[in-house]
Amino acid sequence: MAHKKTPAINGGSMADISFLILVFFLMVSTMDSEKGLQRRLPPMPQQNQKAENQKVNRRNIIQVKVSASDHVFAGDEPIENVSELGPKVIEFLTNPNNLDNLSEKKTENIEGFGPCQVSQGVISLQNDRGTSYKKYIEVQNELVKAVNTIRDQFAMANFGKPYERLDEDKQEIVRKAVPQKISEAEPKDVKRK
Amino acid sequence: MAKFIHTGKKEVPPINTASLPDIVFMVLMFFMVSVSMRQTDKLVTLTLPQASEVAKLERKDLAAYIYVGIPDKRLQSQYGTESRIQLNDSFKSTDDIKDFVASERESLSEGDRQFLTVSIKADENTRMGIITDIKQALRRCSALKIMYGARKTP
């Protein structure tokens, strides 16, 4: 009985085949990672319910407007450079000297942390139909940055670590203590200037 | 001097390529893990705006994409040079967003539907008018979680 040896499979073309698959994957896939600014839109008011006149106190709202010509206004003051907006918002939200015209603070009991002064300030962002998306995102980014700065300060003061490096529970506490209230107002015809 | 005289032919030994497939497979695996499948062909040219505070989208499978931008060069004769909205593989209007969101919802499992995030990828030169229309349309069909696509500032 002659023992027949199975011939070895030639693996030489393996590399070619896997290169082929590699090229296929390179072509059908995208590398770009999904990054961006996450937002939550306000729900549409019910039809029979009149847009509830804002219960929010006037002093608790800072209006940020971006005009059609991409000029930024905070309150009624024009802002030359978007980077000046950040400090303004921070001052409005933290209200370090407890001024009457800046946002109000309310003591709230946060679970797992205890009573804490929470700013009631709301940033209302308005834009025109002619505003460029670039400027809009720039302003949005600046607002988020301002809130993140305050969160970092809070986290440093209370937990001794920046917000990013806290664990999930503590981040939750910080998020409650420093809420990110950016309202993208109902589109209105912002006066063309 | 015999020391320096080489006798006999000395051949350069061939490079052993036995491990080449393994290496290529490794690269392949890396790409498969790090990359997401392209679901739609982009018909618009767009440069995302830059932002420094970007966050990563955690569940890519729960995202629906809306592209806004100027149609590609080759499509401009047909669709013009105005900013257009692209849903799936074709240009649509804001009225179609409702159906789009509904079908995206449909494709998710029951429990995941509430987490649907609509990622708006718009060119930085787009006017806000069109974005506002999209936002209103999304609110109307209560897809409230949105993300403004942006690049991270280097």
Query: Which ipTM did the prediction report?
Result: 0.74
Please answer yes or no on whether A34 and B49 come within 8 Å at the CB atom. no
Whether the CB of B135 is below 8 Å from some CB of chain A: the reply is yes
Which amino acid type is present at position B118? V
| A138 contacts B49? CB cut-off 8 A | yes
Which of A18, A31, A128 lies at the smallest CB-CB distance from B28?
A: A18
pLDDT score, position A28: 76
Confidence class of residue A183 from pLDDT cuts 50, 70 and 90? confident
**Res. A30: pLDDT tops 80:** no
- Quick one: CA dihedral A137, A140, A146, A148, positive or negative? negative
**A34 domain-assigned:** no
Nearest CA in chain A to B60: A34
Q: Measure the CA angle with vertex A122, ends A118 and A123; round to 5°.
A: 135
Whether the predicted pLDDT of A192 surpasses 50: no
Nearest to B139 among A44, A130, A133 (CB): A44
- 8-state DSSP, A16: H
For residue B42, count other CB atoms closer than 10 A to its CB: 15
What distance lies between CA A118 and its chain's CA centroid?
A: 19
Structural domain of residue A141, as residue ranges? 58-184
Mean pLDDT, rounded, for A49-67:
70
Q: How many domains does chain A have?
A: 1
Minimal C-alpha gap between A11 and chain B (Å)? 8
**Of A25, A37, A44, which has the smallest distance from its Cβ to B53's Cβ?**
A37
Q: How far apart are CA A15 and CA B28, in angstroms?
A: 11
Q: Which stretch of A19-33, A52-66, B91-105, B124-138 has the lowest confidence by average pLDDT? A: A52-66
Flag whether A119 is in a domain: yes
Task: State the nearest Cα–Cα gap between A95 and chain B, in angstroms.
Answer: 23
For chain A positions 165-184, those within 8 Å of chain B (CB to CB) are 184
| pLDDT single digits (tens) B100-112 | 888 888 888 888 8
Does A145 contact chain B (CB < 8 Å)?
yes
- What's the mean pLDDT in A12-33? 79
Select B44-152's CATH number: 3.40.50.150, 3.40.605.10, 3.30.420.270, 1.10.1370.30. Answer: 3.30.420.270
For A142-178, the pLDDT digits (tens) are 888 888 898 898 888 888 888 888 888 888 888 888 8
A190 band by pLDDT with thresholds 50, 70 and 90? very low
Residue A115 belongs to a domain: yes
Which chain A residue shows the shortest CA-CA distance from B150?
Answer: A36
Residues of chain B with pLDDT under 70: 1-9, 36-39
DSSP class of A158:
H
Instruction: Please give the mean pLDDT across all residues of chain A.
Output: 79
For an interface test with A, the pick among B121, B148, B151, B153 (most A C-beta atoms closer than 10 Å) comes out as B148
The pLDDT of residue A191 is: 40
pLDDT in tens, A35-51: 888 888 877 776 655 55
Residue B120 to residue B126: CA distance in whole angstroms: 12
Establish if B30 touches chain A: CB-CB under 8 angstroms.
Answer: no
pLDDT, position A51: 52
User: What chain B residue is nearest to A44 in terms of C-alpha separation?
Assistant: B139
Determine what percent of chain B is predicted with pLDDT higher than 90.
Answer: 0
pTM of the model as a whole: 0.76
Domain ranges of chain B: 44-152
Q: SS3 for B90?
A: strand
CB distance from B33 to chain A under 8 Å? Answer: no
Question: What pLDDT is recorded for position A1?
Answer: 56
What CA dihedral angle connects A125, A128, A129 and A130, to 10 degrees?
-120
Coil, strand or helix at A109: strand
- pLDDT given for residue A162 in this prediction: 86
At A139, list the tokens: 């302003």
Interface of B with A in 34-53 (CB under 8 A): 34-38, 48-53
Q: What is the pLDDT of residue B53?
A: 84
In a domain, A5, yes or no: no
pLDDT value of residue A193: 33
